[in-house]
A and B are shown apart, each in its own frame.
Chain A
Amino acid sequence: MENMILLTRKADFSAAHFYWNPKWSEEENARVFGKCSNRQGHGHNYTLEVTVAGEVDPVSGFVVDLKKLKDILEQEVVSVYDHRHLNFEVAEFAETVPTTENIAIAIWRRLEGKIENATLHRVRVYEMPDLFADFYGEGA
């Protein structure tokens, strides 16, 4: 692993969501989730940082082709999440609260195994500049 590098690529998307557990009363949802429980929804400008680990190819000097990585993020995540209402329009949040934590996990699952010549190391999702969640995969 002499030439192991972590490569991080960013992508942005904007989406709407709200927090709601259908097993709870309206009062309980309001108590736990506060203003995030407003079922009209609200939006965020999310920033996604995806970090992959891999060996540097001695010929190209690359771990992975950054253009290909950008295209994978666009295809697997941005085109699905951007300008969507996560609760209503993105399948993985039909029954899962679209918290920043759960979004990080969902994006990991969307990307795992899709990136050639590298392994997924970390998914970081910023909901706002002062709040982000990291996921390093199941069991990490």
Chain B
Amino acid sequence: MFGKCNNEFGHGHNYVVQVTFSGPVDEATGMVTSLSDLDSFAQRELLDVYDHTNLNTLEPFLDRVSTTENLSMELWRVFSAYPHAKLERVRIEETGNNSFDYFGGGAPLLS
């Protein structure tokens, strides 16, 4: 079923995560949200937890296969907690040839 992905010693990817948020443009700042706030959130909630780890050892993947599909849904849960804008899409590039989009179960954006 899983081919070379089921090597018990694991394998790695350089994942690229894109998160898309929507919200009104603040009149004073001209911003939807402060990018430095979002950077800090991503550092704390994503990179500090996931970067250079074995995903299979992390709590969300103890009972789920760590496919990029499942990782997309887990990162939706993570980033939907960002308090300053509305999460619209999580995109993860697993390699230069594969990517996955999750919209929280809603309809996909045409983009």
Contacts and interface: CB of A to CB of B under 8 A. Distances in A.
Interface of B: 1-3, 64-67, 69-70, 72-73, 96-103, 105-106, 108, 110
A66 B103 contact: no
B67 A61 contact: yes
A23 interface: no
A1 B97 contact: no
Interface residues of A, number: 22
B74 to A, nearest CB: 11
Contact of B67 (A1, A2, A60, A67): A60
B98 A8 contact: yes
Contacts of A61: 64-67, 69-70
B109 to A, nearest CB: 9
Interface of A: 1-11, 51, 53, 56, 60-63, 66-67, 121, 136
B98 A1 contact: no
A3 B103 CA distance: 9
